[in-house]
Chains A and B, each alone.
Chain A
């Protein structure tokens, strides 16, 4: 196997991993701070692609500001969802939260169909990126570098936010002990709103960022949320870096699995998940649950 091809395959895996990371990181973040498994996460991801299609009005060059607008819209939608729907069920057992987010999945699926119709929606990459970049003599879609850069940028900003800001420290603390934060006088409800809104903003951004290379239709949410689950199960529920590692592993396994056994390349992903589940059920970078609660 020649080096340039290995590099090419590595980059395709990385591009796929980038969209997986943006899809899954919010799911993990929300679980970490709120303890909620968001079954509607894939739906917000899908909604992001529709929103981009809607705000740029078919103009591929509107991508740049479109992404910003969609992420902001996603943040607002997330904040409103949290305040109106999730907050009333915080004190209740997990299954109410699961049911609630599952209900959101159903509503959003039909909602986008009512708003945007059932046809596939598609938007090309911006003119400047519609040409291939040459990587060691092989053509590679320029837009994928945008996706990779976006994912890395988000990861970096999240790191700065969580590790280097006071508010980020509070978010991390919320994953450990909410009561303690409350006792310290932190406005925990607002903190939770911010985290949920951030998670949803990232999901809509991720969904929107895929539109130049893919297509969107009402059914993609169910597939997307399962992909997100696989990523966080592998990486570790609640761990941002786990989502990064999980997305990277799955993207690359897919890219190189295709070469080894093309017929079973999807099976490799499930195989990875199975091995992780058997060896470290809490995920590669997750924390083992200390005691049964």
Chain B
């Protein structure tokens, strides 16, 4: 339905302004709109909607309006079918979005086979950009960069006894592996006292929490996210975990999807990241974006909404630079001059030409309650400069 209204709005604008005689640029956006993580997909979709509205209001890209077709990517088999439909039936010029890592790994080779550029804005498995596919790009940071940033913070702490509790699947495992490997490089005397692997999507964490606490860690790393982070947090508080340990670090723990349900009960002083945080940077551009988003959807933009918005704007910039929507021209625009540098609402994004991975400053912060918001915010904010997250790539360029 939304897709129709959007198309209709775009069409009306075309007639209204008379500006576009040109054929629209078609973008197929795949997001997780059903199931357990539908709220992530829904807010990503809102980010794209706002971006496209703004782009079209300013006359489109290359004078052509942008038309986005949103679909629910569901599980990998549904996602592959929908991707094929967008390519073969809707004849989209670009594929865009994707929330789930496994879906991104399934869709990327298909996009590559049909030579339709895929721009990923959320899925964070490092493996996606390690596939070195020529038509696959990621405009948000990946899990490895977050883990490296966490390790950089951890190395500055005096704590030696570390423990992990993470969701038992690819993202959780890779996050911890990257984190602890990096931390041991930076600070060789750390010791891992406990690793806990609750099932992804678990509801009960209590026995993992008690087992973790028994090992008496000084500091804990966790890659739990979404509903898992909320349930874990609610259970860890009465067990006194956050009071017993001295340091807690959690990539994507700063997601609004997780902080809002926890409300005022969220513990303070946890070091968490948000790939984008709506109160940072304090630029006019970002404030304007947050206001427009809040006016339109009645909510603050989540990190993935911000990434979706910025990703669309960055794609628009690449197309403008290429002067064409041909896949090779856009690819060249992303890669040329040492990689596209794009000033987004969340700051500078640099596309590394070799593996098509964006590097950007990462927003971290300590949770804190204020009167201004009914949920914990990041205060103080700590920013990890992009250069500290640049890891080597095998992809040749």
User: Could you tell me which A residues sit within 8 Å of B by CB distance?
Assistant: 5, 8-9, 12-13, 15-16, 19, 110, 113, 117-122, 124-125, 130-132, 138-144, 210, 212-215, 217-220, 223, 254-256, 258-259, 262-263, 265-266
On whether A262 and B234 interact (CB within 8 A), knowing A120-B261, A122-B262, A214-B203, the answer reads no
| Chain B interface size, under 10 / 10 to 19 / 20 to 34 / 35 or more | 35 or more
Query: Are the C-beta atoms of A254 and B238 separated by less than 8 Å?
Result: no
Query: Are the C-beta atoms of B39 and A258 separated by less than 8 Å?
Result: no
Q: How far is the CB of A94 from chain B (nearest CB, A)?
A: 27
Docked Cα-Cα span, A110 to B37, in Å, equals: 13
Which chain B residues lie closer than 8 Å to A122 at the CB level?
230, 234, 261-263
Query: Are the C-beta atoms of A19 and B230 separated by less than 8 Å?
Result: no
Q: Is B207 an interface residue (CB 8 A)?
A: yes
Which chain B residues lie closer than 8 Å to A143 at the CB level?
238
Query: Are the C-beta atoms of A220 and B203 separated by less than 8 Å?
Result: yes
Docked Cα-Cα span, A131 to B195, in Å, equals: 27
Query: Are the C-beta atoms of B39 and A141 separated by less than 8 Å?
Result: no
0/1 interface trace, chain B 237-257, chain A, CB 8 Å (1 if under):
011100000000000000001
Which chain A residues lie closer than 8 Å to B35 at the CB level?
218-219
Docked Cα-Cα span, A220 to B234, in Å, equals: 17
- 6 other contacts beyond A118-B38, A258-B208, with CB at 8 A cut-off? A9-B211, A119-B39, A210-B203, A214-B234, A218-B34, A266-B199
- 16 intermolecular pairs with C-beta atoms under 8 Å apart: A5-B210, A12-B207, A16-B207, A120-B257, A120-B261, A121-B261, A130-B265, A132-B240, A210-B203, A218-B35, A220-B203, A258-B207, A258-B208, A262-B194, A262-B211, A266-B199
Q: Is B343 an interface residue (CB 8 A)?
A: no
Q: Is B214 an interface residue (CB 8 A)?
A: yes
Which residue of B is nearest A264, CB measured?
B197
Q: How far is the CB of A120 from chain B (nearest CB, A)?
A: 4
On whether A220 and B231 interact (CB within 8 A), knowing A12-B207, A120-B261, A131-B238, the answer reads no
Query: Are the C-beta atoms of B42 and A118 separated by less than 8 Å?
Result: yes
On whether A119 and B260 interact (CB within 8 A), knowing A215-B230, A218-B38, A266-B199, the answer reads yes
Which residue of B is nearest A254, CB measured?
B207
Docked Cα-Cα span, A254 to B211, in Å, equals: 11
Q: Is B102 an interface residue (CB 8 A)?
A: no
Docked Cα-Cα span, A121 to B234, in Å, equals: 12
Which chain B residues lie closer than 8 Å to A212 at the CB level?
234
Docked Cα-Cα span, A119 to B38, in Å, equals: 8
Docked Cα-Cα span, A165 to B257, in Å, equals: 48
Query: Are the C-beta atoms of B231 and A214 separated by less than 8 Å?
Result: yes
Docked Cα-Cα span, A127 to B197, in Å, equals: 31
Query: Which of B42, B201, B238, B263 interacts with A142 by CB under 8 Å?
Result: B238
The interface residues of chain B, by DSSP majority, are classed as helix
Of A210, A219, A256, the most chain B CB neighbours within 10 A belong to: A219
Q: Is B227 an interface residue (CB 8 A)?
A: yes
Docked Cα-Cα span, A141 to B239, in Å, equals: 6
Query: Are the C-beta atoms of A217 and B207 separated by less than 8 Å?
Result: no
Docked Cα-Cα span, A36 to B348, in Å, equals: 59
0/1 interface trace, chain B 172-199, chain A, CB 8 Å (1 if under):
0000000000000000000000111101
Docked Cα-Cα span, A232 to B151, in Å, equals: 44
0/1 interface trace, chain B 33-56, chain A, CB 8 Å (1 if under):
011111101100000000000000
Docked Cα-Cα span, A122 to B374, in Å, equals: 14
Docked Cα-Cα span, A142 to B258, in Å, equals: 24
Docked Cα-Cα span, A12 to B214, in Å, equals: 14
On whether A5 and B214 interact (CB within 8 A), knowing A119-B261, A213-B235, A266-B199, the answer reads yes
Query: Are the C-beta atoms of A215 and B231 separated by less than 8 Å?
Result: yes
Which chain A residues lie closer than 8 Å to B261 at the CB level?
119-122, 215
Docked Cα-Cα span, A13 to B34, in Å, equals: 32
Query: Are the C-beta atoms of A118 and B39 separated by less than 8 Å?
Result: yes
Q: How far is the CB of B34 from chain A (nearest CB, A)?
A: 8
Query: Are the C-beta atoms of B196 and A262 separated by less than 8 Å?
Result: yes
Which chain A residues lie closer than 8 Å to B194 at the CB level?
262
Q: Is B301 an interface residue (CB 8 A)?
A: no
Which chain A residues lie closer than 8 Å to B34 at the CB level?
110, 113, 218
Query: Are the C-beta atoms of A117 and B39 separated by less than 8 Å?
Result: yes
Docked Cα-Cα span, A126 to B209, in Å, equals: 22
Query: Are the C-beta atoms of A215 and B227 separated by less than 8 Å?
Result: yes
Which chain B residues lie closer than 8 Å to A130 at the CB level?
238, 265
Top 10 A-B residue pairs of the complex, sorted by shortest distance between their CB atoms: A219-B36, A141-B238, A118-B38, A122-B261, A255-B207, A12-B206, A118-B39, A215-B230, A139-B240, A12-B207
